[in-house]
Amino acid sequence: MSGPEAVSRRVRREGLLPLLPATAVLAVIVYWAFNQGGYESRPTLGAPYQPTGWYVGALVIVGLWCATALGLRRIRMSRWAFAACAALLAYTVWSFLSVLWAHDQGAAFLGSVRTLVYLAGFTTLAMLPWTARSALAALGAFVAAVGIVAVAIAAKVAFMHDPSSLYLDARLVYPLGYYNADAALLTAAAIVAVALGALRNTPAPLRVAGLVVAAVCLQLAVLAQSRGWLFTLPVVLMLALVLVPGRLRLLAAALGPALATAATAPALAHVYSRATVNGVALAEPRIAQVLHQQGSHAVRAMLLADLLLAVIAGVVVTLDRRIAPNAELCRRANRAGAALAALAIAIGIAAALFATHGHAVTRVEHAWRSFADTSESTSASSANSSRFGSLGSQRADFWRVGVHEWLAHPLTGIGQDNFAAAYLRLGHTRQEPRWVHSIELRLLVHTGLIGALLFALFLLAVLLAALRGRERNSPERVAVGIALLPLIVWLMHGSLDWFWEFPVLSVPALAFAAVAMSIAPVVAAGQATVAPPIPVPADGSRSQPGAHSIPAVLRWGVIVALGLGSLVAVAIPFAAAHEVQRATETWSKQPALAYAQLRSAHDLLPFDAQIDAIGGAIALDLEEPLAARAWFDEVQRADGEEWLAP
């Protein structure tokens, strides 16, 4: 037997079938990475409106969802995995229901479509028969994909003659358009790369390459000057030590990228410090010259440090592969790793006490006052060397308004993506945030206690499906721990930021969580030895102990209903967004055509008041008061608060 049929049989026999849809998901992630992270901005006349990046990726994810469900003859998953899919589906349905009580129904609907796409990405990979081998391969592909993005970033930082477009206030915002999101994506890839590099059975060249990619990602994260990244990174590392077996090996693998990043930190910090004065960016054209000069210097320092890391890592990995592991030694090493982690925490606490001259409580109180201060000067100013030395921010006021709105609507929330109007009404700063800057508060504010509990049930089911019945040092348990790391980064850093709105962060976090809970165990419940091979049907799916098969009739009905409904739910706003985009590009030369395009968009999404607001803004700019009045009357009918998100 030869040809495509032989390849197909080999793919099924070796459990590599899930890599086909996973590759498509990773391709979408890379596409989003170079298209503002897939972030869906709202149309305005004062800024470019480019919705294509988000909607193209969303249609691919939903289409892949349908194709995967139709292509599998049987879908088998554990009870907790099924519960996780059901809970996320319930949250998505509840999100769409929130359109009924949201004042800005257009924003609520579009936010619910985003949730639907996340559901599609999660369940696509949850349906597949994952093994430890295929899961690790997918994680390696994720590291490689983000590594390509990181190399592209470094090349632009080093070689662009005028790199000003890569920065905002001398902080790296390329390619996602938001420095904190850049840091989160790079960190997710770095921590996964470190965990893969710590595995003995990973090929030596890939281990070395992974550690170098981790170093590059961490170094570029420093350029983003994300304070949330700096403060949550230790928490992420501690949770990684809990989830991934082999603590000492993980710590040892993390040491190389950490040292390479520390060695280049002064050069990386100079990009910010030389391009700002008291936290305020220099003016053009001086800032372009400084950013180019300092960026090139920083990348040269990165290259030197990472080449040295590659050489040292190559030697260490070679020695590691030649030394035969000893079970008792590994257990002692893991205990030593836990002790070292505890010692590091104690040293950190002691260092904090020493740095504050014993007045740690006073310093903490001062830091909190700085964080809670809503004045513009506090948030804008920082230590001249970097932004890592201060906590000034408006987040405390965002959270205050968020808590107020949740207490006013405790069960149902105010509607998906409807925070912006509340902040304009109740906020104490001049900011106009669309998001509450916290995943937990976002769930409570937008969808109330009911929505938050549904999502909490989803996370609990994912963890139970992933971790129950796994031997601590089994290959499956190792793969599960590593696959959960993107979710950990997303949750920890996202607790302080608005990462839900970035598909390039949310989709891999949820998708790899699906992989973690779907890895088939090879040890049967109650057995101390390796069980006989699990029967593999012709379609390549694997039965799991305690799993049940979804009936064919029910499955086909759900696929048809959800698949067609989801495609329509994404396609309609995509068509409306395309019309709005055309109108924002042509209105100055062809106003009549722009009005017609906006009316077409309005017919597709009659409850989205932002479309009518664009028409009113065009009419005002063209000095057509009667037309403006007609458009704004539609706005008032759609939005009772007479306000639209910026």
Identify which of 302-316, 349-363, 387-401 has the greatest average pLDDT: 302-316
Helix (H) / strand (E) element for 171: namely strand 171-172
Confidence tier at 543 by pLDDT (50, 70, 90):
very low
Q: What angle do CA 488, 543, 510 make, to 5 degrees?
A: 20
Q: Looking up tokens 């770095």, which residue turns up? A: 190
Token pair of 1 as six digits: 């037997």
Token pair of 475 as six digits: 């290959």
Quote the pLDDT of residue 541: 44
Collapse the DSSP code of 587 into the 3-class scheme (helix H, G, I; strand E, B; otherwise coil) and give the result: coil
Cβ contacts of 132 within 8 Å, gap of 6 or more: 474, 475, 476, 478, 479, 519
Residue of 124, 123, 41 lying closest to 88 (CA atoms): 123
Quote the pLDDT of residue 568: 94
More confident residue, 282 or 309: 309
Collapse the DSSP code of 280 into the 3-class scheme (helix H, G, I; strand E, B; otherwise coil) and give the result: strand
The answer, yes or no, to whether residue 13 has pLDDT greater than 90, is: no
More confident residue, 405 or 48: 405
Q: What angle do CA 576, 582, 585 make, to 5 degrees?
A: 145
Confidence tier at 366 by pLDDT (50, 70, 90):
very low
Q: Within a 10 A sphere around the Cβ of 48, how many other Cβ atoms?
A: 10
Average pLDDT for 434-448: 96
User: Of the ranges 120-129, 153-162, 399-408, 517-526, which one carries the lowest mean pLDDT score?
Assistant: 517-526
C-alpha to C-alpha distances, 350 to 239, 389, 627, nearest whole angstrom: 22, 19, 67
Q: Which pLDDT tens digit goes with each residue over 195-211?
A: 999 999 889 999 999 99
Quote the pLDDT of residue 375: 55
Confidence tier at 590 by pLDDT (50, 70, 90):
very high
Alpha carbons 82 and 305: distance in angstroms, whole number:
46
Confidence tier at 60 by pLDDT (50, 70, 90):
very high
Quote the pLDDT of residue 321: 77
Q: Is 315 exposed, middle or buried (0-12, 13-18, 19+ CB in 10 A)?
A: exposed
| Cβ(145)–Cβ(175) below 8 Å | no
Average pLDDT for 278-282: 83
Residue of 309, 198, 316 lying closest to 264 (CA atoms): 309
DSSP annotation of 606 reads T
Quote the pLDDT of residue 388: 74
Quote the pLDDT of residue 537: 41
Instruction: Give the chain's end-to-end CA distance (angstroms, integer).
Output: 61
| Cβ(625)–Cβ(92) below 8 Å | no
Quote the pLDDT of residue 335: 61
The answer, yes or no, to whether residue 523 has pLDDT greater than 60, is: no
Q: Which pLDDT tens digit goes with each residue over 119-143?
A: 999 999 999 999 999 999 999 999 9
Quote the pLDDT of residue 73: 74
Q: Looking up tokens 């002692």, which residue turns up? A: 332
The answer, yes or no, to whether residue 451 has pLDDT greater than 80, is: yes
Quote the pLDDT of residue 69: 87
The answer, yes or no, to whether residue 544 has pLDDT greater than 60, is: no
**Beta strand spans in 264-401 (E):** 276-277, 280-281
The separation between CA 114 and the C-alpha centre of its own chain, rounded to angstroms, equals 13
Quote the pLDDT of residue 542: 45
Confidence tier at 257 by pLDDT (50, 70, 90):
very high
Quote the pLDDT of residue 260: 97
Alpha carbons 635 and 591: distance in angstroms, whole number:
19
**Mean pLDDT score across all residues of the chain:** 85
Task: Please say whether the dihedral angle defined by the alpha carbons of residues 141, 142, 148 and 154, taken in this order, is positive or negative.
Answer: negative
Q: Looking up tokens 């993506």, which residue turns up? A: 417
The answer, yes or no, to whether residue 646 has pLDDT greater than 60, is: no
Quote the pLDDT of residue 44: 84
DSSP annotation of 38 reads G
Token pair of 434 as six digits: 């669309």
The answer, yes or no, to whether residue 180 has pLDDT greater than 90, is: yes
The answer, yes or no, to whether residue 381 has pLDDT greater than 50, is: no
% of the chain residues with pLDDT over 70:
81
The answer, yes or no, to whether residue 495 has pLDDT greater than 70, is: yes
Average pLDDT for 106-112: 95
Quote the pLDDT of residue 45: 83
Rg (CA), the chain: 26
The answer, yes or no, to whether residue 401 has pLDDT greater than 60, is: yes
User: Of the ranges 22-26, 221-225, 247-251, 375-379, which one carries the lowest mean pLDDT score?
Assistant: 375-379
Q: What angle do CA 362, 363, 368 make, to 5 degrees?
A: 100
Alpha helices (runs of H) in 468-551, residue ranges in sequence order: 475-483, 485-494, 503-518
Q: Helices 485-494 and 475-483 meet at what angle, rounded to 10?
A: 30
Confidence tier at 43 by pLDDT (50, 70, 90):
confident
Alpha carbons 538 and 631: distance in angstroms, whole number:
59
More confident residue, 534 or 253: 253
Average pLDDT for 569-577: 96
Confidence tier at 560 by pLDDT (50, 70, 90):
confident
Give the amino acid at 196. Answer: L
| Cβ(638)–Cβ(612) below 8 Å | yes
Quote the pLDDT of residue 360: 46
More confident residue, 593 or 46: 593
Identify which of 90-104, 335-349, 353-367 has the greatest average pLDDT: 90-104
Quote the pLDDT of residue 534: 34
Average pLDDT for 460-484: 91
Token pair of 107 as six digits: 């924003």
Q: Is 555 exposed, middle or buried (0-12, 13-18, 19+ CB in 10 A)?
A: middle
Average pLDDT for 94-118: 95
DSSP H helix total and E strand total for the chain: 24, 6
Average pLDDT for 457-483: 92
Confidence tier at 445 by pLDDT (50, 70, 90):
very high
Confidence tier at 532 by pLDDT (50, 70, 90):
very low
Quote the pLDDT of residue 580: 95
The answer, yes or no, to whether residue 233 has pLDDT greater than 60, is: yes
Give the pairing type, strands 280-281 and 276-277: antiparallel
% of the chain residues with pLDDT over 90:
64
Average pLDDT for 26-40: 95
Q: Looking up tokens 């260490």, which residue turns up? A: 316
Quote the pLDDT of residue 385: 63
Average pLDDT for 94-112: 95
Quote the pLDDT of residue 569: 95
* φ, ψ at 549 (rounded to 5°): -95, 140
Helix (H) / strand (E) element for 78: namely strand 76-78
DSSP annotation of 225 reads T
Quote the pLDDT of residue 350: 55
Quote the pLDDT of residue 557: 74
The separation between CA 157 and the C-alpha centre of its own chain, rounded to angstroms, equals 23
Q: Within a 10 A sphere around the Cβ of 456, how many other Cβ atoms?
A: 14
Collapse the DSSP code of 169 into the 3-class scheme (helix H, G, I; strand E, B; otherwise coil) and give the result: coil
DSSP annotation of 177 reads S
Token pair of 20 as six digits: 């086909």
Average pLDDT for 405-434: 93
Quote the pLDDT of residue 593: 94
Alpha carbons 174 and 157: distance in angstroms, whole number:
9
Alpha carbons 200 and 324: distance in angstroms, whole number:
10
Quote the pLDDT of residue 384: 56
Q: Which residues of 325-343 are buried (b: 16+ CB within 10 A; e: fewer)?
A: eeeeeeeebbeebeeebee
Quote the pLDDT of residue 452: 97
Quote the pLDDT of residue 1: 46
